[in-house]
Amino acid sequence: MSSTTDASTGRAQISERTLRTDRWWLSPLLNVAGLGAWVIYATVRVFMQSYYFTDLPGQQYSYLTPFYSPCFSVGCTPEASHFGQFLPDWWWLPYAAISLPFLLLFRLTCYYYRKAYYRAFYLSPPACAVAEPHKKYTGETRFPLLAQNLHRYFFYFAGLVTLVNTYDAVVAFINKDGSFGFGLGNIILVANVVLLWLYTISCHSCRSIIGGRLNHFSKHPVRYKLWGQVSVLNGKHMQLAWTTLASLAITDFYIMAVSAGWWGDPRIVG
Ligand code: FES
């Protein structure tokens, strides 16, 4: 190591925090704003316990927001509970209290979000070639960050919840009288589910599950082909992470607006 390097930290011994002259702070700032705004919105909505299901008198159609799916609380509108009701109706317990913690953990342990919030909230480091304020660095080798390794298990659970969201999007095409119908809300629900699948499949753990632990790709042509396709999606994981946050919020807000009677759902059929 050269004499300009601190032997204990391995860092360059320069008095400036960084020699970068570009706007390196913009990305962490946008991440704080974007992630912070989404978390506040989602928290308010999850505990609101109203306007999650469009069920106005005279309406043939009904939409369930993904923030309340699957709706397991006894406080849920029965028509919104496609998989039963067994959770108590307490104000501090979200109606979808079974799925939400796992979805939160899936996103919290996501490789991309880790990079984003480590940089934005912990400044560890805030950007490439910008020194972090912390004296010690232990990475993800100790509790609690060691638990980031559980991401692959949350991936399986998130896949199950996305299946439930897909079911919700499909049953939304069936009117209360059993006839087929669709409107703008169906398009939004389907678009959100497609994006959720793309985000879930583009997960680094999914890529590793499909193509990992193989010595010879040539002996596993199907897995090799799938791995190649997932790898292409994986290259868009950051964009999908943000797009799905937006699609979830838009879907929820749209359903809240229709449910509250702020506007009606433009129907195309039925
Ligand atoms: Fe982002 Fe798995 S790495 S969801």
Residue 9 lies in a domain: no
| Cβ-contact 99, 108 below 8 angstroms | no
Question: Which residue reads 């960084």 in tokens?
Answer: 18
Residue 7 lies in a domain: no
84: region left, alpha or beta (phi > 0 left; psi from -120 to 50 alpha): left
The residues, ordered by sequence, that sit 6+ positions from 13 with a Cβ below 8 Å of its Cβ are 4, 5, 6
Angstrom distance (rounded) from CA 218 to CA 230: 17
Task: Give yes or no for residue 204 CB within 6 A of ligand 1.
Answer: yes
Residue 5 lies in a domain: no
Atom of ligand 1 nearest to the CA of 237: 1
How high is the pLDDT of residue 57? 85
Residue 10 lies in a domain: no
Task: Give yes or no for residue 230 CB within 6 A of ligand 1.
Answer: no
E-assigned strand segments in 154-227: 182-183
| Dihedral angle computed from the Cα positions of residues 78, 80, 82 and 88, in that order, rounded to the nearest 10 degrees | -60
pLDDT over 80 at 2, yes or no: no
Residue 262 lies in a domain: yes
Task: Give yes or no for residue 112 CB within 6 A of ligand 1.
Answer: yes
Number of domains in the chain: 1
The token pair that represents 33 in the structure block: 């704003």
Residue-range definition of the domain harbouring residue 241: 21-269
Residue 64 lies in a domain: yes
pTM: predicted TM-score of the whole model, two decimal places:
0.93
pLDDT over 50 at 1, yes or no: no
pLDDT over 80 at 8, yes or no: no
Query: Any idea which of 22-31, 53-62, 217-226 has the lowest mean pLDDT?
Result: 53-62
Give the closest residue (by CA) to ligand 1 atom 1. Answer: 110
Residue 12 lies in a domain: no
The residues, ordered by sequence, that sit 6+ positions from 161 with a Cβ below 8 Å of its Cβ are 69, 99, 102, 103
- CA–centroid distance, residue 117 to ligand 1 (Å): 14
Residue in 102, 203, 244 to alter for ligand 1 test, most ligand atoms within 8 A of Cβ: 203
3-state helix, strand, coil in the chain (%, to 5): 55, 5, 40
**Tell me: the pLDDT tens digits for 38-75?**
999 999 999 999 999 998 888 899 999 999 999 999 99
Residue 74 lies in a domain: yes
